[in-house]
Amino acid sequence: MALFRKNLGIDLGTANTLVYVPGKGIVLLEPSVVAVSEQDNKILAVGDAAKDMIGKTPDSIIAYRPMRDGVIADYRVTEAMLRYYMTKALGKWSFVKPDVLISVPAGITSTERRAVIEAALKAGARNAYVAKEPILAAIGAGIPIYESRGHMVVDIGGGTTDVAVISLGGIVASTSVKCAGNKLDTAITDFIKKSFNLAIGDRTAEQIKIKVASAVPVDDEITMLIKGRDYLTGLPRTAQVTTNEICRAIDKELRIMIKAIKDVLQETPPELASDIIDHGIIMTGGTSQLRSFPELVYRRTGVRARLAEEPMLCVAKGTGEALEHLDMYKRALLLKQK
């Protein structure tokens, strides 16, 4: 039976879920969204199909994210979402129970960790392991984590910003703050409400963040026409936003993320700190792709920062790499086996 055993690496994120199958790579990248019918409590859609429904559903259907700040907020729905993604990733092998490795934020509690393991087992996993995101992000970014050299990884996703200094296969100093991409979206929504008296949806806020936002003010501003509902008249209306307006709107959230980086740098032993100065900070995760983010990190900390290759895929790639060389990474990775 070992011949048919399948392994899956899952980056279970607040915003997106990615599934990695050893030998095939990342086979699935879909939003962590589920649409539920209120009347009979039935799950109607998961992933892309459910995300398309956000903000557009009748009262009887709710499209929402069962993960909040990197941890499970709704256990039953998360389990159903995991089952859907695992079955979809395994395809014709779906009768085989896979061994699953799931990424979790560095600051996760033992109760939250147990919830992830139990959800995976109930969703059909044979064995479930969890591993901390910064280590997986480092492996996925191609960092040799077993060297006696200090590496600093900043993984900024949808729900959490995880910062860690890694040396000799372990985390030397780390922190995790519940401020990341989703908080930026909320700040943009609040700004548009205050400045233009306009109500916009989550998807519009996300579009503004991707197309217009910058971590530092720019000379060459991008403008974008946004559509929403006027708070006073209740009628549809358009307004125009610019890069520097959005830059000011998200400043408070960016400060929280930068403070997390500074806190970890202050905890880092001097020898490792000098390695980080030499080799810089590696940034991973979807939100690290915000325009000029590495530049902001450099300005605030004095340490060079660079984006990893394909930052959004690093954690998922790390789960895959760890699964393929499980014996090698076991000591550094696995927090708990059920």
310 versus 337: the higher-pLDDT residue is: 310
Percent of the chain whose pLDDT exceeds 70: 95
Q: How far apart are the first and last CA of the chain?
A: 21
Segments of 192-233 assigned E as strands: 198-199, 223-230
Residue 140 within a domain: no
228 is in an annotated binding site: no
Is 15 labelled as part of a ligand binding site?
Answer: yes
Query: What is the pLDDT at residue 63?
Result: 81
CB 93 within 8 A of CB 107: no
Q: 319 and 290, same structural domain? A: no
7 among annotated binding-site residues: no
Same-domain pairing of 124 and 255:
no
Query: 163 and 51, same structural domain?
Result: no
**Are the CB atoms for 312 and 287 separated by under 8 Å?**
no
Q: Which of the pair, 87 or 307, is modelled with greater confidence?
A: 307
SS3 state of residue 177: strand
Give the pLDDT mean for 2-13.
Answer: 76
Q: Are residues 42 and 153 in the same domain?
A: no
Q: What is the pairing mode between strands 305-307 and 25-31?
A: unpaired
Does residue 325 share a domain with residue 302?
no
Q: What is the predicted pLDDT for the residue at 333?
A: 63
Residues 123 and 43 both lie in one domain: yes
pLDDT band at 1 (very low <50, low <70, confident <90, very high): very low
Same domain, 295 and 246: yes
Same domain, 13 and 74: yes
Spatial separation of the C-alpha atoms in residues 67 and 295, rounded to whole Å: 30
pLDDT in tens, 231-285: 999 999 999 999 999 999 999 999 999 999 999 999 999 999 999 999 999 999 9
Mean of pLDDT values over 317-322: 90
Q: Is 242 annotated as a binding residue?
A: no
- Give 3's pLDDT tier (boundaries 50, 70, 90): very low
On whether residue 47 sits in a domain, the answer given is yes
Say which CATH number the domain at 128 has.
3.30.420.40
Confidence of residue 338 (pLDDT cuts 50, 70, 90): very low
Report DSSP state, residue 269.
-
123, 49: one domain: yes
Q: Please name the residues in contact with 327: beta carbons below 8 A apart, sequence gap of 6 or more.
A: none
Tell me what pLDDT residue 286 has: 93
- Report helix angle 251-267 to 181-196, nearest 10: 150
pLDDT of residue 323: 84
- Determine the residue type at 111: T
Domain range spanning residue 165? 145-307
Of the candidates 82, 215, 107, 214, which has an alpha carbon nearest to the alpha carbon of residue 160? 107
322-335 burial, b for 16+ CB within 10 Å, e for fewer?
Answer: bbeebeebeebbee
Is 266 annotated to bind a ligand? Reply is no
- If asked whether residues 295 and 327 sit together in one domain, one would say no
Q: What is the pLDDT of residue 97?
A: 87
Q: Is 159 one of the annotated binding-site residues? A: yes
- Output the pLDDT for position 331: 64
Confidence check: pLDDT of 6 > 90? no
What integer is the mean pLDDT of 109-133?
90
Q: Are residues 320 and 303 in the same domain?
A: no
Evaluate whether residue 181 is within a structural domain: yes
pTM recorded for the entire structure: 0.89
Q: Would the annotation count 16 as a binding residue?
A: yes
Q: Is 66 helix (H, G, I), strand (E, B) or coil?
A: coil
Residue 55 has pLDDT above 80, yes or no: no
Total domains in the chain come to: 2
What local confidence, expressed as pLDDT, does residue 294 receive?
Answer: 96
Tens digits of residue pLDDT in 172-200: 999 999 999 999 999 999 999 999 999 99
Can you give the pLDDT at residue 91?
80
